[in-house]
Structure 1
Amino acid sequence: MIPHPAEPRQHLRRYLGTQWRRLLKIAGTASATLAVAFLGLTPMGCYLSRAAYEEARILARRQPIPRLVARESTEPALRAKLALVLEARQFAVDSLRLKAEESFTTFSQLDRDTLVLVVSAAYPDRLERKTWWFPVVGRFPYKGFFDFTEARRTAEALSAEGYDVTVGPASAFSTLGWFNDPLVSTTVKADSVTLVNTVLHELLHTTFFAKGQVSFNESFATFVGGRGAEHFFRARGDSALLRRAQDDWHDDLLLGAFWERTAKEIDSVFATLPDSARTPRIAARDTVYTRARRRLVDSVGPQLRTYPAGWVERVPLNNAVLMSRRVYAERLDRFDSVYTAAGGDIREAIRRVIAAHRDSVRTTEKTRKAGN
């Protein structure tokens, strides 16, 4: 399967590459001979070796951002973007009380326009994503490739096996504190609103990350990046970029509701058919996607403010696409309701969401212990 055209705002297309960034742990738990054999002779070993090599290259190119901003020889457009990153980082710390640690203090210039291609797949007859197993860290519902030819080859093989597949670029990543992640040139090329959104999104991950709850984590970060960017540009007195940030969040909410409704409709038709009825289930979900496309074109599309003309006709609709989008946009309205209840105070909304989640975890744990 050939990768579909990238969405216009790729700040929602991030790759949490923890599986290959923990590669060093493998060496600590296996003999050198076995490790070399694994890394050099098996498909997974080759994949991890390539990832570790590319990560090492990125880390080796790190330069302190403040030094680049102060340097006269730094290209003016790059200097302006890097200065904006530092400003957004400080805003996250001072105004949102996010933990920045060492994130976004260094910059790496890459020699390519795309950081990594991410392949995701799903079963066509149920809303379930295919997962890949990695040593030490377990299973993940996506696989990232620095080798783009291999990414396309993998996507084509999955499609031939009958999976729904989606392929897209990731321009940024977070290792959740495992490394001092540099800002990379593929991220800096984004527009100013997207760049600020990305900084706030990733720093939310640094501040809070619920174990085993990918959709909650990413959707929470989408909320913080979206609403946080509004507050950043408002505080900066930049009315033009404030309007753009508001338009971005408007579209995030609108599309989040679209993906949510579509998923519920597919769940409903699947519930009427037995698991063994693969062909009827696929036909039923195709009918849902046909209706969803009409809704996207006729109703949702005219309301979008930041997407180019024709996007609603081009975006693929299948289970892999649906589930990948929902990871970053699951019930965004719930986070926004907390924001509204907090009187539009984004810092207080963040605090309330984190507190409510921790309370829920404690309650669940007490119930589990009582049941035992």
Structure 2
Amino acid sequence: MRLLLGAGAVVLVASLASACSPMYVIRAGIAEAKILRARRPIPEVVLDPATDERTKTKLTFVVEARNYAISEFGLDVGRSYTSFTQLESDTLQMVLSASPQDRLAPKTWWFPIVGRVPYKGYFNEDAAIEEQRKLEEDGFDTYLRPTAAFSTLGWFADPLLSTLLRLDEVDLVETVLHELSHNHLFVKGQVRFNESFATFVGRAGAIEFFCNRVGGSPDTVKCLRAQARWRDHQRFEGFIDGLVEQLEVVYQDTALAYETKVAEREVIFDRHLEIFANDVQPSFEASTYQGFLVTPLNNATLLTRVRYNHRLQDFQALLEREGDLRRAVQYLKDGVNGVDDPFDLLPVGTVDPSAF
């Protein structure tokens, strides 16, 4: 689940299995039932004369990427993305995150299947806005955003949603691999690892797909773009790590009052927005991360960035050590049950936040 997608990867299954209010569960169940009922096999959609060529091309890419994930990366993807659902709107659901203003500590919600997660999904936008208002009245930073994709972690045969077809081919393949990776490896209660792992698989996997697939090569436009986007993502992680490091100096200072911490963080936020616009963004090769400048910067939005971008350069170091993505993924899957923190499986020290 990437930022572009929102936190859809576990919100759906969490919604259906939650110990939240009965009305919340009922609404989530009805929405999921509608999505599943509207599924059509992708081959049927592709062969349908009424399907436009753009949709056919992108669905063909999805099938090819799914097959590649199975054969080349060894992912266990179940029946996900063998069908297609046309949605009535461009937004699947709204996802709400929150954090206290004086520390980087996400508010969490507990769900039986996936454990404690730092977001909550809503199929009703008015309900999401109302919950956001209540949290802000209680002094929380909040971040409410749309999501266009989800994974039920293999509980259902997730269809590809029409909301994803607006993406270009590289972004679409990254998204498909990202979501499918959740079916293969999901560690209960380890959201930051799960999402960063999926970011890694999506980005690095897209490179292997476009550079090595039949018809692809290291000098094709899509191969070069996938490589550039992965480098940009790692640069962005370094910038975010530097911002977090400076905030933690303030937040962990027990001598500072709440009001002082909040005031000083605003100075840090403003300075880093300027650094991003003047120094970091111009260094990107294929991405802009314009949303970082457009979305109000607070602890909730920052934690969402961290959630999907933690230790990406260390994931890359693992990839280089193991030699290919299949072996890197297998190494992590074999090792997660033997450690308390799955990030301990990664090589250490490849990121220098002070550079930002």
User: TM-score with structure 1 length normalisation?
Assistant: 0.83
Structure 2 unaligned regions, length at least 5: 343-356
Q: Deviations over 1:203-260 (max 9, x none)?
A: 2111111222111111011001001001101123161111221122122111111222
Give the match for residue 20 of structure 1: 15
Cα distance, 1:81 vs structure 2: 1.1
Give the match for residue 254 of structure 2: 273
Cα distance, 1:274 vs structure 2: 4.5
Counting only pairs closer than 5 Å after superposition, residues 1-372 of structure 1 correspond to structure 2 as 10-11=4-5, 13-16=7-10, 17-22=12-17, 44-133=21-110, 139-236=116-213, 237=216, 239-274=220-255, 277-308=257-288, 311-343=291-323, 345-361=324-340
Matches of 1:309 and 1:245, distance apart in 2:
15
Cα distance, 1:265 vs structure 2: 1.6
Matches of 2:78 and 2:65, distance apart in 1:
14
Matches of 1:308 and 1:262, distance apart in 2:
18
- For the 8 Å contact 2:73–2:325, the answer to whether it is kept is yes
Q: Deviations over 1:119-143 (max 9, x none)?
A: 1111001111112355786643211
Q: Deviations over 1:299-336 (max 9, x none)?
A: 21111233449655323221001111111111111100
Matches of 1:78 and 1:136, distance apart in 2:
34
Relative to structure 1, the CA distance from residue 58 to residue 333 in structure 2 (aligned partners, 3 Å threshold; closer, same or farther) is: same
Matches of 1:132 and 1:48, distance apart in 2:
14
- For the 8 Å contact 2:17–2:111, the answer to whether it is kept is no
Equivalent pairs counted in the alignment come to 336
User: TM-score with structure 2 length normalisation?
Assistant: 0.87
Cα distance, 1:55 vs structure 2: 0.7
- For the 8 Å contact 1:251–1:304, the answer to whether it is kept is yes
The one-letter amino acid paired with 1:99 is: D
- For the 8 Å contact 1:11–1:197, the answer to whether it is kept is no
Cα distance, 1:357 vs structure 2: 3.2
Structure 1 unaligned regions, length at least 5: 1-6, 27-42, 364-372
Cα distance, 1:288 vs structure 2: 2.1
Relative to structure 1, the CA distance from residue 286 to residue 201 in structure 2 (aligned partners, 3 Å threshold; closer, same or farther) is: same
- For the 8 Å contact 1:12–1:222, the answer to whether it is kept is no
Relative to structure 1, the CA distance from residue 249 to residue 161 in structure 2 (aligned partners, 3 Å threshold; closer, same or farther) is: same
Relative to structure 1, the CA distance from residue 283 to residue 273 in structure 2 (aligned partners, 3 Å threshold; closer, same or farther) is: farther
Matches of 1:67 and 1:166, distance apart in 2:
39
Aligned to 1:180, what secondary structure does the other structure show?
A: coil
Cα distance, 1:189 vs structure 2: 2.3
- For the 8 Å contact 1:335–1:353, the answer to whether it is kept is no
Relative to structure 1, the CA distance from residue 138 to residue 220 in structure 2 (aligned partners, 3 Å threshold; closer, same or farther) is: closer
Q: Name whichever of 63-72 and 123-132 sits farther off.
A: 63-72
Q: Deviations over 1:37-94 (max 9, x none)?
A: xxxxxx9222221111111100100111122223333222111111111000010011
Q: Deviations over 1:87-116 (max 9, x none)?
A: 000100111111121011111111111111
Cα distance, 1:348 vs structure 2: 1.9
The one-letter amino acid paired with 1:243 is: L
- For the 8 Å contact 1:118–1:143, the answer to whether it is kept is yes
- For the 8 Å contact 2:115–2:188, the answer to whether it is kept is no
Question: How big is the alpha-carbon RMSD for the aligned residues of Structure 1 and Structure 2?
Answer: 2.5
Relative to structure 1, the CA distance from residue 13 to residue 213 in structure 2 (aligned partners, 3 Å threshold; closer, same or farther) is: closer
Aligned to 2:254, what secondary structure does the other structure show?
A: coil
Cα distance, 1:291 vs structure 2: 2.4
Aligned to 1:247, what secondary structure does the other structure show?
A: helix
Q: Name whichever of 244-253 and 349-358 sits farther off.
A: 349-358
- For the 8 Å contact 1:50–1:146, the answer to whether it is kept is yes
The one-letter amino acid paired with 1:14 is: G
Matches of 2:17 and 2:35, distance apart in 1:
15
Relative to structure 1, the CA distance from residue 15 to residue 96 in structure 2 (aligned partners, 3 Å threshold; closer, same or farther) is: closer
Aligned to 1:99, what secondary structure does the other structure show?
A: coil
The one-letter amino acid paired with 1:156 is: R
